[in-house]
């Protein structure tokens, strides 16, 4: 058996009101890829943050390379050869790719310790990216990259440190299938060089493919560690949630015949990408939007929501409307659940209750000041309904686990009572149990007569939820399929049709 590089014994951590880790044992072997799974809020991120000195553990011991290890901050851990890629992106958006990768250890000109040598730095970055098969320009500003590409830059940055232990906290949530394959090639290569990895993901198929062993946490407790090849997906799920979860495709549309059209879009053009997109959604319908990353689905939704400029014709409940800004969109009853919750969806420094009612201030006013109690009463219903795991409604959103933050965004738009809801990658980073809760909720909303647009990169999700599937490729809508006629193959054919 291979050497144990890192071992954790009885790690315990409490936050006020939450017992996040309960005497958890965990060990990592040399050159192994060790999956870490569990529901939202199970304690995965907390455990790896304890390893990297981001969060101090309350008690327990960490042994690293045979010695006791107590990093005080992430730099300590990095100096010792342990790096982490976080669940939420953590970059200087105004800096270039190269500047982000080499931040704090910039290349300097020969003979100088402080004159920056941008050219050398760009050159090194370009070599690194090429080596990793990433098609990214070192001089592009990070804010101009897609979320997926930003994630790839984070990965490149971590790899550039020559680590012994690399921790990846849900790195694939925003990646395309091709990017994921590239990442796996990089991971296997690192493993063959003796690098040990902890890999956190809610995509259990990926866990089955890429890991050697899997550790399952539930409610801050260790459920067990098993060899991946001896563990079925069903077993893994039941270890995680303590019950069996089914995933079946929708066989036929559940929209009532003759349901009125809630939203009609004709000849929409936006930015340089979106061209001549036309479609409609009926009340009570879930219209799935499939396509490869970069197909223009999010751009189309942003244009619809008035977040980006566009030209085209839009009718809502038969009335021609002009949407020039998100304020207009909200006025017409459109809610938008963004794919990038940190950037567009949440004010993470505010509480759960405040975020919940943020989109509804218009209705709640004219009272300028809303008492805390009232805020909490309004948000409680949905927070409970979605089972958002939070010790209280005044907890700051930044202290919630990633998946629970996503649920708060959903709560926000539910409270707003929008009649047209756009869900852009609604279950990204959400565990299987909570996913099925969100699916059930979307079905209920559709039943109540709301029109729902769901952008998703997961074909399973598209096939399971949609009444019709719109497919985009390179900014154009290449087809709309009734769910009865939709299949992975037909969707992929339309998604790659030029």
Ligand X SMILES: Nc1ncnc2c1ncn2[C@@H]1O[C@H](COP(=O)(O)OP(=O)(O)OP(=O)(O)O)[C@@H](O)[C@H]1O
Select from 37-45, 188-196, 312-320, 486-494 the region that touches ligand X (CB under 6 A).
37-45
425: left (phi over 0), alpha (psi -120 to 50) or beta: left
The binder of 399, among Mg ion, ligand X, none, by C-beta within 5 to 8 A per type, is ligand X
Tell which one of 400, 409, 470, 471 touches ligand X (CB under 6 A). Answer: 400
161: left (phi over 0), alpha (psi -120 to 50) or beta: alpha
Least distance to ligand X from the beta carbon of 43, Å?
Answer: 4
Look-up: residue for tokens 């938008």? Answer: 336
Select from 277-285, 320-328, 394-402, 454-462 the region that touches ligand X (CB under 6 A).
394-402
Least distance to Mg ion from the beta carbon of 86, Å?
Answer: 9
The verdict on 348 binding ligand X (CB under 6 A) reads no
Q: What do you get for the CA distance between the two ends of the chain, in Å?
A: 51
DSSP 260: P
Tell which one of 312, 402, 426, 479 touches ligand X (CB under 6 A). Answer: 402
The verdict on 344 binding ligand X (CB under 6 A) reads no
3-state secondary structure 398-441: HHCCHHHHHHHHHHHHHHHCCCEEEEECCCCCCCHHHHHHHHHH
> Please, which of residues 1-30 interact with ligand X by CB under 6 A?
15, 18, 20
Judged by beta carbon, residue 157 or residue 389, the one nearer ligand X is: 389
The binder of 20, among Mg ion, ligand X, none, by C-beta within 5 to 8 A per type, is ligand X
In this structure, are residues 122 and 138 in contact, taking their beta carbons and an 8 Å threshold? yes
- Count CA atoms within 13 Å of residue 394 on its CB side: 5
CA distance 74 to 467: 47
List contacts with Mg ion (CB under 5 A). Answer: 45, 87, 401-402
The verdict on 399 binding ligand X (CB under 6 A) reads yes
The binder of 50, among ligand X, Mg ion, none, by C-beta within 5 to 8 A per type, is none
The binder of 478, among ligand X, Mg ion, none, by C-beta within 5 to 8 A per type, is none
The verdict on 345 binding ligand X (CB under 6 A) reads no
Burial 18-34 (b: 16+ CB within 10 A, else e): bebbbebebbbbbbbbb
3-state secondary structure of 187: helix
Tell which one of 46, 172, 351, 456 touches ligand X (CB under 6 A). Answer: 46
Query: What are the residues binding ligand X (CB under 6 A)?
Result: 15, 18, 20, 38, 40-46, 87, 389, 399-404, 431
């Amino acid at each position: 058996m291979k050497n144990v590089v890192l071992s954790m014994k009885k790690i315990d951590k409490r936050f006020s009101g939450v017992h996040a880790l309960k005497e958890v044992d965990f060990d990592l072997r040399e050159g192994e890829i060790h999956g870490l799974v569990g529901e939202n809020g199970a304690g995965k991120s907390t455990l790896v943050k304890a390893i990297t000195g981001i969060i101090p553990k309350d008690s327990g011991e960490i042994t690293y390379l045979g010695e006791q290890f107590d990093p005080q901050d992430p730099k300590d851990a990095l100096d010792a050869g342990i790096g982490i890629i976080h669940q939420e992106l953590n970059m200087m958006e105004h800096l270039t790719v190269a500047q982000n990768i080499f931040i704090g250890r910039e290349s300097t000109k020969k003979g100088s310790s402080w004159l920056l040598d941008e050219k050398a730095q760009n050159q090194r970055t370009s070599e690194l990216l090429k080596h990793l098969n990433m098609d990214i320009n070192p001089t592009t500003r990070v804010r101009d990259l897609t979320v997926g590409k930003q994630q790839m830059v984070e990965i490149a940055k971590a790899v550039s440190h020559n680590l012994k232990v690399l921790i990846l906290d849900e790195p694939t949530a925003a990646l395309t299938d091709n990017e994921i394959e590239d990442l796996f090639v990089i991971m296997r290569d690192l493993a063959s060089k003796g690098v040990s990895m902890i890999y956190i993901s809610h995509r259990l198929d990926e866990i089955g493919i890429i890991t050697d062993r899997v550790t399952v946490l539930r409610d801050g407790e260790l459920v067990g560690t098993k060899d991946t090849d001896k563990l079925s997906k069903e077993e893994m799920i039941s270890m995680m949630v303590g019950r069996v979860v089914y995933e079946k495709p929708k066989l036929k549309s559940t929209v009532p015949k003759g349901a009125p059209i809630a939203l009609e879009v004709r000849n929409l053009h936006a930015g340089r990408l979106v061209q001549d997109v036309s479609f409609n959604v009926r009340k009570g319908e879930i219209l799935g939007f499939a396509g490869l990353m970069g197909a223009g689905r999010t751009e189309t939704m942003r244009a619809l929501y008035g977040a980006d400029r566009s030209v085209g014709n839009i009718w809502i409940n038969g009335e021609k409307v002009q949407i020039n800004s998100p304020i207009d969109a909200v006025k017409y009853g459109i809610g938008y659940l963004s794919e990038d919750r940190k950037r567009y969806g949440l004010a993470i420094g505010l509480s759960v209750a405040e975020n919940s009612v943020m989109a509804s201030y218009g209705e709640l006013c004219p009272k300028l000041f809303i008492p805390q109690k009232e805020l909490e009463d309004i948000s409680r219903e949905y927070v409970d309904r979605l089972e958002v795991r939070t010790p209280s409604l005044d907890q700051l959103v930044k202290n919630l686990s990633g998946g629970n933050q996503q649920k708060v965004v959903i709560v926000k738009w539910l409270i707003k009572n929008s009649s047209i809801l756009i869900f852009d990658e609604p279950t990204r980073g959400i565990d299987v149990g909570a996913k099925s809760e969100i699916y059930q909720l979307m079905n209920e909303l559709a039943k109540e007569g709301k029109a729902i647009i769901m952008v998703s990169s997961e074909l399973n999700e598209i096939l399971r939820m949609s009444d019709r599937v719109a497919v985009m490729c390179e900014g154009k809508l290449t087809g709309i399929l009734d769910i009865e006629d939709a299949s992975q193959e037909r969707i992929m054919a339309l998604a790659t049709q030029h």
